[in-house]
Chains A and B, each alone.
Chain A
């Protein structure tokens, strides 16, 4: 078996997949073959460490329909590993290929390495209650979600690009596609949140948080006190035991102490950052990064720094 295959219909995610692929390459000493949907995407992947890039050129615009084409590529050289970007489309494609390869597949792998001639991955179980290690024999398939890894730095040599024409899945007819707008507050969908507590002295001061949120492209959230007692923000933005539960990539808690009733609503955030002028505030124990300081001083500086 040979070949570490990498595919995502989203090229940004495809580039991120090259990072674990490069790690696996060190152990397996096999080429990395990236699959792309356009020559432009292929060139980007070729520049970041893919030894070969195959462009799956199809008249069909429905990426899901390329699962068979992905399978053909992986199986023809008996690839050892297939990493697929864990978008919703990607998961369907990956599972289809896994079935055709009669292979095991890890969904949403957090870490990947080779051990004992198998792919060893870690992932989450029971809605976040537990994590587990899964070992997959070759050929092994794994999906990896966006932002699990960062894209690798540029490689010394560019990989080779080839184009193949492939069919889509004619059994499925694509109808109307409606892009999702950004209208309306959906706290749960936001990948970044700036959450405010009563460290802010008055409603007008929330503008500091709004500016920071704009610089971060984040949504605003808050504690129960801010929503229910002060009525500075609507109830839909309140995070906590009887409010919303969120899992953003970034939860930036400003001027809130971090009581348990609040933290239970955001503890699964990927990165928690705290800004508070009380060093002993519980939020700091629950944070990955933090600044002990006056939010009135820190926020404007942070907004400017992030705006650059």
Chain B
């Protein structure tokens, strides 16, 4: 009966973000919020584990004022209770701030057997949160899991890496980040949606976490953001001799490390 915690982020749907043609800046004024895609997989995985092994899932999220819009969404997907931290610091938090806040909150919330995260958030995709939380809490960490099971007190995961799949097992509390292929998040049924308002949520205030001001200052600061516009080199070889063109192309490919 593992006690599971899943951490999730409320992000802007990147499909709604537009690039302003004048200066390539981003316009996210019309962007709707969503639970980050990979976090949905983490929530689903926690829900599946608990359906199989018993136990319950708590959820934890740290964000700005919009984070309250995520609570029922989260609770309709399996967790029994959601803890939320709504703070202005989340607006420009980097991975270090996020991990400091989440780890401090988890220390307050109690012991968990499994702490699940998505492999990265759908907006920044830093892919750091799970490993950072584990380091701060002194827990082992298993990243990029595409399969997860729990027996007794042992978590067994299969990691999908570039050149292999490796099985690992950990006894005792562990932080795990999951890949999107691990499962297909449920489409909440109407009763699950309507049942969400009956489940509890609890606010945790940043002021109560015992963090120092520098823990809430980002160490990686975003200086500028620009929309991506396809710009290609357009180096076209039009010699009359095909052999010449081929030789030039080969040199270009070599310079790109492609042959």
Contact = CB atoms under 8 A, between A and B. Distances in A.
Given A177-B166, A286-B230, A287-B232, A132 B222 contact: yes
A174 B227 CA distance: 42
Contact of B140 (A136, A171, A178): A171
B128 A127 contact: no
B190 interface: no
Interface residues of B, number: 76
Looking at A93, A285, A301, the one whose CB has the most chain B CB atoms below 10 A away is A301
A97 B95 CA distance: 13
Nearest to B168: A172
**Interface size classification for chain A:** 35 or more
A24 B164 CA distance: 33
A301 B246 contact: yes
A184 interface: no
A175 B167 contact: yes
Contacts of A100: 135
B208 interface: no
B144 interface: yes
A99 B96 contact: yes
Contacts of B159: 88
Interface stretch (B71-79, B195-203, B251-259): B251-259
Interface SS of chain B:
mixed
B138 to A, nearest CB: 10
Contact of A173 (B136, B161, B168, B228): B168
A305 B249 CA distance: 10
A272 B237 CA distance: 14
A91 B26 contact: no
B226 A130 contact: yes
B17 interface: yes
Contacts of B19: 129-130
Contacts of B124: 125
B143 A172 contact: no
B244 to A, nearest CB: 10
B227 to A, nearest CB: 5
Interface stretch (A39-47, A50-58, A152-160, A290-298): A290-298
Interface in A84-143: 87-89, 91-100, 102-107, 120, 124-137, 140
Interface in B155-175: 156, 159, 161-172, 174
B164 A178 contact: yes
Nearest to A293: B242
B234 A96 contact: no
Contact of A177 (B143, B167, B172, B252): B167
A96 B238 contact: no
Interface string B215-227: 0001111111111
20 contacts: A94-B131, A100-B135, A105-B95, A129-B26, A130-B226, A133-B224, A134-B220, A172-B168, A173-B169, A177-B165, A178-B165, A179-B164, A180-B163, A180-B164, A250-B258, A273-B253, A288-B232, A288-B235, A290-B236, A302-B250
Interface of A: 62, 64, 67, 87-89, 91-100, 102-107, 120, 124-137, 140, 147, 150, 169, 171-180, 192, 216, 249-250, 267, 270-274, 279, 284-294, 297-298, 301-302, 305-306
